[in-house]
């Protein structure tokens, strides 16, 4: 290694979803190489899907992720319903939104309290943090449990829900089943509001990034289930036009594809994108809460994404309570599709960002082509760009501190890089 | 309720799905009244399942040189830094148990046990167990039935 040259290498990133490694080569005050190597499963599932029935896609793709199976269920259903010309009646759409709220709460809760907060409070992990901040960890776990309860009641079970089908659900819950969730949801909603105030007191590194932000935008709602694809630099697309504007390429050091906007480059999806592009679609009281804790548009500091996730948890609780309050059992749990050949596109907002599915099926409903673009593929280049942006700071730090900061920069975006296995051997080293 | 048995793992990760397969075997065989079976994809989903006054038995794949063994594991003797304690979801089994106890000491089961099924290495995108691990599933189910008193 020449003088002034340093390499930070993290074999396995801790506290991110899945396996990944990070290499940053610093020369002087700049990064000459940043490689976030990730091992991402959707490509393998695309091959698995070919030859399977249209109605199998939601369940098969839900296995991609143990943390956000609802997102895969929803994007797959949306795409298949698009191919088959199915339009969901509002009560069924509301149930799907409720299910998705449960997943947002559960997934964001895991990230905020167990993976991200330790970074701000100076702990290596959630267990160490819990010894000094028991009350907050307790509230975080209770809040996450409340999200799980929604997913369990609507999805039929907590992980890999089985009650969702193309056209709706296999069974719609009774009013009493949903109403029974309300006491727990109200307590957890109040805890989430307090936790937002707590996270707003954290010290945030002073970093502003010039992202092109990409998210769904809906005429009336904060984006979750559907909408047009918009960006902070003027994109405004129907989901059917996704492939005309976004392109993916593989880097030799990573199995994941990396997305760019054609002719423009990297972009960022996820909480920061949704917040900046659809702040006006948050419930009025949630907007007020954001202002009260100093969270305003624009927010382009990736470290402040923890605040946005907390705000989205509050929004999800408020919405869930409203949906349950207004719930009437729908006459039918699903619209039964009439099988026909076609191509369908579906995009929904997974907790980590835009999740795009496209399927082509033949006239018997057999899948002949599948494409899945996960949020982490879309964010990978922006994560690397974040690391380039702080290279000078990293270069000036002792090695161990630089490694910690580099990992924090990755964790800001809650990457979900491989969800098909829960085991990995952790080995963090800096050379 | 007498006990809650929780299978941990991912079905789409080859032998990592051993814990799920043991739960399926228990459900096929039938469990005594008062025994509840549950599954969790990873330790982060485990925490709230540990909040019960009853005995909890967690069944999980454990990486070891020799696959197909059924092992009783003493929770309090697991090295927090051992491979069992590390997961892609940011927590290990030991950490999940510690978190449950730290956050809700009064709610967390006073009797948590782990039955491990040893595996060589999880696979990716394989929805079946290797023969040697599959052969251990019934033995693990039997061990759990002994632990719950049948």
B12 or A17, greater pLDDT: B12
- A window 2-31, beta carbon within 8 A of B: 14-19
- Residue A356 β-bridge partners: A347, A373
CB contacts of B102 in chain A (<8 Å) are: 127, 130-131, 134, 137
pLDDT digits (tens, 9 = 90+) for A251-266: 776 666 789 999 999 9
What's the average model confidence in pLDDT over A174-190? 98
* pLDDT the model gives residue A421: 31
What's the average model confidence in pLDDT over A328-355? 97
- A window 122-141, beta carbon within 8 A of B: 125-127, 130-131, 134, 137-138, 141
- Residue A396 β-bridge partners: none
Three-class secondary structure assignment of A56-81: HHHHHHHCCCCCCHHHHHHHHHHHHH
The three-state secondary structure class of B71 is strand
User: How far is A105 from A99, CA to CA, in rounded Å?
Assistant: 10
Cβ separation A114–B13 shorter than 8 A: no
User: How far is A218 from A97, CA to CA, in rounded Å?
Assistant: 13
Q: What is the mean pLDDT of chain B?
A: 84
pTM score, two decimals?
0.89
Tokens matching residue B113: 């046990």
CB contacts of B100 in chain A (<8 Å) are: 141
A43 touches chain B (CB under 8 A): no
Closest CA to A50 of A359, A292, A369, A279: A369
User: How far is A80 from A94, CA to CA, in rounded Å?
Assistant: 18
Return the half-sphere exposure (C-beta side, CA atoms, 13 A cut-off) of residue A277.
30
* pLDDT the model gives residue B83: 39
* pLDDT the model gives residue B86: 28
Cβ separation B95–A126 shorter than 8 A: yes
User: How far is A28 from A32, CA to CA, in rounded Å?
Assistant: 9
Query: In this model, does residue A277 exceed pLDDT 90?
Result: yes
B41 or A414, greater pLDDT: A414
pLDDT band, very low/low/confident/very high, at B88 (cuts 50, 70, 90): very low
CB atoms within 10 A of CB A383: 23
Contacts (Cβ under 8 Å, ≥6 apart) of B101: B108
A157 or B54, greater pLDDT: B54
pLDDT band, very low/low/confident/very high, at A15 (cuts 50, 70, 90): very low
CB contacts of A66 in chain B (<8 Å) are: 10, 41-42, 45, 89
Alpha helix positions (H), A203-293: 242-245, 271-278, 284-292
* pLDDT the model gives residue B150: 58
CB contacts of B13 in chain A (<8 Å) are: 420-423
pLDDT band, very low/low/confident/very high, at A17 (cuts 50, 70, 90): very low
Distance from CA of A218 to the nearest CA of B (A): 31
Query: In this model, does residue A150 exceed pLDDT 80?
Result: yes
Sheet bearing A214-217, strands edge to edge: A214-217, A228-231, A236-237
Cβ separation A127–B42 shorter than 8 A: no
B18 touches chain A (CB under 8 A): no
Cβ separation B89–A48 shorter than 8 A: no
pLDDT digits (tens, 9 = 90+) for B52-85: 999 999 998 887 778 899 989 888 777 655 433 2
Mutate to test the interface with B, among A110, A421, A425, A427 (most CBs of B within 10 A): A421
B126 touches chain A (CB under 8 A): no
Cβ separation B95–A125 shorter than 8 A: yes
Query: In this model, does residue A42 exceed pLDDT 60?
Result: no
* pLDDT the model gives residue A253: 67
A180 or A11, greater pLDDT: A180
> ipTM exceeding 0.90?
no
Cβ separation A423–B41 shorter than 8 A: no
Mutate to test the interface with A, among B27, B103, B129 (most CBs of A within 10 A): B103
User: How far is A105 from A109, CA to CA, in rounded Å?
Assistant: 6
Cβ separation A420–B63 shorter than 8 A: no
User: How far is A91 from A110, CA to CA, in rounded Å?
Assistant: 29
Cβ separation B45–A115 shorter than 8 A: no
B86 touches chain A (CB under 8 A): yes
pLDDT band, very low/low/confident/very high, at A223 (cuts 50, 70, 90): very high
Distance from CA of A425 to the nearest CA of B (A): 6
Point out the residue among B48, B80, B103 whose CB comes nearest to the CB of A137: B103
B5 touches chain A (CB under 8 A): no
CB contacts of A418 in chain B (<8 Å) are: 88, 124
Mutate to test the interface with A, among B67, B89, B107 (most CBs of A within 10 A): B89
* pLDDT the model gives residue A355: 96
A383 or A228, greater pLDDT: A228
What's the average model confidence in pLDDT over A34-50? 73
Mutate to test the interface with B, among A18, A423, A426, A429 (most CBs of B within 10 A): A423
Q: What is the mean pLDDT of chain A?
A: 88
Point out the residue among B38, B42, B102 whose CB comes nearest to the CB of A422: B42
- Tell me what percent of the residues of chain A surpass a pLDDT of 90: 68
- Tell me what percent of the residues of chain A surpass a pLDDT of 70: 88
Mutate to test the interface with B, among A149, A422, A428, A429 (most CBs of B within 10 A): A422
pLDDT band, very low/low/confident/very high, at A163 (cuts 50, 70, 90): very high
Kind and range of the H or E element at A86? none
pLDDT band, very low/low/confident/very high, at A29 (cuts 50, 70, 90): confident
DSSP E strand stretches across A278-418: 342-350, 353-361, 367-373
State the pairing for strand pair B112-119/B55-63.
Answer: parallel
B12 touches chain A (CB under 8 A): yes
pLDDT band, very low/low/confident/very high, at A425 (cuts 50, 70, 90): very low
Query: In this model, does residue A44 exceed pLDDT 90?
Result: no
pLDDT band, very low/low/confident/very high, at A244 (cuts 50, 70, 90): very high
């Amino acid at each position: 290694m020449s003088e002034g040259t340093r390499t930070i290498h993290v074999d396995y990133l801790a506290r991110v979803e899945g396996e990944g490694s990070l290499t940053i080569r610093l020369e002087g005050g700049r990064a000459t190489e940043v490689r976030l190597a990730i091992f991402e499963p959707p490509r393998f599932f695309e091959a698995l899907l070919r030859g399977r029935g249209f109605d199998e896609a939601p369940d098969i793709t839900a296995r991609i992720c143990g943390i956000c199976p609802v997102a895969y269920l929803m994007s797959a259903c949306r795409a298949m319903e698009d191919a088959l010309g199915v339009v969901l009646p509002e009560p069924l759409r509301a149930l799907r939104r409720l299910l998705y709220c449960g997943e947002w709460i559960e997934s964001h809760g895991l990230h905020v309290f167990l993976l991200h907060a330790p970074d701000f409070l100076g702990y290596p992990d959630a267990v160490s943090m819990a010894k000094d901040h028991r009350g907050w960890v307790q509230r975080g776990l209770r809040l996450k449990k409340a999200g799980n309860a929604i997913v369990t009641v609507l999805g039929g079970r907590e992980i890999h829900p089985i009650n969702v089908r193309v056209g709706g659900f296999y069974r719609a819950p009774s009013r009493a089943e949903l109403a029974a969730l309300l006491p727990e949801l109200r307590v957890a909603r109040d805890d989430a509001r307090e936790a937002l105030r707590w996270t707003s007191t954290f010290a945030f590194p002073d970093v502003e990034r010039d992202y092109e932000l990409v998210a769904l935008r809906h005429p009336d709602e904060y984006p979750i289930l559907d909408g047009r694809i918009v960006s902070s630099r003027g994109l405004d697309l129907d989901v059917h036009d996704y492939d005309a504007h976004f392109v993916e390429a593989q880097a030799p050091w990573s199995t994941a594809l990396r997305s760019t906007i054609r002719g423009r480059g990297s972009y960022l999806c996820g909480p920061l994108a949704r917040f900046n592009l659809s702040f006006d679609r948050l419930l009025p009281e949630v907007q007020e809460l954001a202002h009260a804790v100093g969270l305003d548009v624009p927010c382009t500091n990736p470290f402040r994404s923890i605040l946005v996730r907390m705000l989205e948890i509050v929004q999800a609780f408020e919405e869930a309570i409203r949906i349950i309050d207004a719930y009437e059992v729908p006459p039918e749990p699903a619209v039964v599709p009439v099988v026909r050949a076609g191509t369908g596109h579906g995009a929904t907002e997974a907790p980590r960002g835009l999740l795009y599915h496209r399927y082509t099926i033949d006239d018997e409903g057999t899948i002949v082509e599948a494409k899945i673009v996960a949020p982490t593929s879309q964010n990978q280049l922006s994560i690397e760009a974040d690391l380039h942006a702080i290279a000078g700071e990293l270069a000036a730090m002792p090695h161990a501190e630089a490694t910690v900061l580099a990992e924090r920069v990755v964790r800001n975006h809650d990457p979900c890089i491989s969800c098909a296995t829960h085991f990995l051997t952790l080995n963090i080293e800096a050379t | 309720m007498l006990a809650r048995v929780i299978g941990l793992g991912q079905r789409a990760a080859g032998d990592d799905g051993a814990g799920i397969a043991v739960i399926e075997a228990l459900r096929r065989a039938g469990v005594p009244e008062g025994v509840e079976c549950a599954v969790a994809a990873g330790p982060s989903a485990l925490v709230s399942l540990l909040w019960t006054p009853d005995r909890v038995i967690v069944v999980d794949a454990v990486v070891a040189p020799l696959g197909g063994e059924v092992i009783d594991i003493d929770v309090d003797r697991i090295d927090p830094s051992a491979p069992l304690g590390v997961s892609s979801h940011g927590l290990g089994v030991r950490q999940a148990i510690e978190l449950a106890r730290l956050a809700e000491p009064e709610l967390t089961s006073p009797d948590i046990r782990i039955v491990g099924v040893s595996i060589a290495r999880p696979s990716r995108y394989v929805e079946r167990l290797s023969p040697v691990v599959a052969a251990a599933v019934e033995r693990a189910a039997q061990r759990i039935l002994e632990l719950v008193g049948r």
